[in-house]
Amino acid sequence: MRLVVGVNHAAPFHVGGSEKVVEQITESMSNDYGMDCHVLAKYADGVVTRNGVKIQKTRDQESVFLRQLEDLKPDHFHVYSDSFVYWSSVVRNAEKIKADKSIALVGMNYMRSNPEIGRLFKTKKDQFKVIAHSENYLDYQTCDAMDIPVNVIPNAINLTEFCDQGISFRKKYGIKTENLILCVSNFFPGKGQEHLHFILRSLWDRRKDFTAVFVCSTVNFQPANVLRMRHSQVMSKAPYPNRVLVDISRSDTIQAFRESDLFAFPSQIEVAPLVILEAMSVGLPWVSLNVGNVPTLSGGTVVYGEKKSQGKWQYSVSMYKDFTDKLDILLSDNELRKQRGEEGKQQILAKYDWSQVRKQYYKIFTGEESP
């Protein structure tokens, strides 16, 4: 069986939550189920075969892309996110694409902002299997209101990946304080790293026992790179010890999760953030705004927003204080941190273990139960 996935960004050319999910899906379908898997990515750089999956660039024109897809002769064509550059073309030409089709909405931001395509998609809903990552976000709720059936498939963690990496992250990166507060997130508008700085500065006024580590990857979006450079400049003058680590290895990132004491997630808008699940998988307690499906997750504590603008929670003085208080409480109570960490690990095992979730994707792609 041949599975083709359409995306804007894909590993190994870019690293982020969506890229990781697509990599997880395609490598699992290839290695666990023997599918012939191809990824067509808008921003790929050349052609790469990685762990059994062929990743290549989409063609630059709509008609040429459709021929490219036709030439691959997929049995199933899956689009990850309606932000995919050719999603509107896929909807308009759905009858001509001779393959079973599905889409993971990942927020449904494009169609909610372009209602004409949303309405057309509704008329062709029988040609697509639709996936949302949780029931409590706008993509699922919008489809429910439009009478479009949705399959809920959560993001999940491959627990075998999050084993000890055989290195000391603290030693390698010179972490000398008792506590390590970790933030893993690429820089985009709304990811909130600039707000976390103010929170950490307030926390430093209370206690002098932590280092803040920011892990991110280079992205091909200039405003994001400007945000990262500004953040690095601020960090160079921050009163608390910190590291801004760009494009470090996956092994180092996993070990950072394993050796940290708290995970701080200041993002103002999300659907189903994979990094929170990654923290939970190693028993790392977290503090986050109530973005996406985060309020349904165990293993941490939620800071509730007060006001949104353009879909993003807007930080206030009281939210800064609440975030700081919750970091402080967890750092001050070892038993509470252990309790939260264990709660997170148990929820991963019960609901977000990739060895079980992969079976749901297999059924979407094949129409059959996983062998």
Q: What pLDDT band is residue 76 in, cutting at 50, 70 and 90?
A: very high
Question: For 131-180, what is each residue's pLDDT tens digit?
Answer: 999 998 999 999 999 999 999 999 999 999 999 999 999 999 999 999 99
Inter-helix orientation angle 250-259/274-281, to 10°: 60
3-class SS string, the chain: CEEEEEECCCCCCCCCHHHHHHHHHHHHHHHCCCCEEEEEECCCCCCEEECCEEEEECCCCHHHHHHHHHHHCCCEEEEECCCCCCHHHHHHCHHHCCCEEEEECCCCHHHHHCHHHHHHHHHCHHHEEEEECCCCCHHHHHHHHCCCCCEECCCCECHHHHCCCCCCHHHHCCCCCCEEEEEECCCCCCCCHHHHHHHHHHHHHHCCCEEEEEEECCCCCHHHHHHHHHHHHHHHCCCCCEEEEECCCHHHHHHHHHHCCEEEECCCCCCCCHHHHHHHHCCCCEEEECCCCHHHCCCEEEECCCCEECCEECCCHHHHHHHHHHHHHHHHCHHHHHHHHHHHHHHHHHHCEHHHHHHHHHHHHHCCCCC
pLDDT band at 350 (very low <50, low <70, confident <90, very high): very high
Domains of the chain, first to last: 2-156+353-366 (3.40.50.2000), 159-351 (3.40.50.2000)
Mean of all residue pLDDT scores within the chain: 97
What is the rounded average pLDDT of the residues 186-209? 97
The 10s digit of each residue's pLDDT in 2-52 is 999 999 999 999 999 999 999 999 999 999 999 999 999 999 998 999 999
Q: For residue 220, what pLDDT is reported?
A: 83
Digit-coded pLDDT (tens) for 228-269: 999 999 999 999 999 999 999 999 999 999 999 999 999 999
pLDDT over threshold 90, residue 221: no
**What is the percentage of the chain residues whose pLDDT exceeds 70?**
100
The pairing of beta strand 53-57 with beta strand 36-41 = parallel
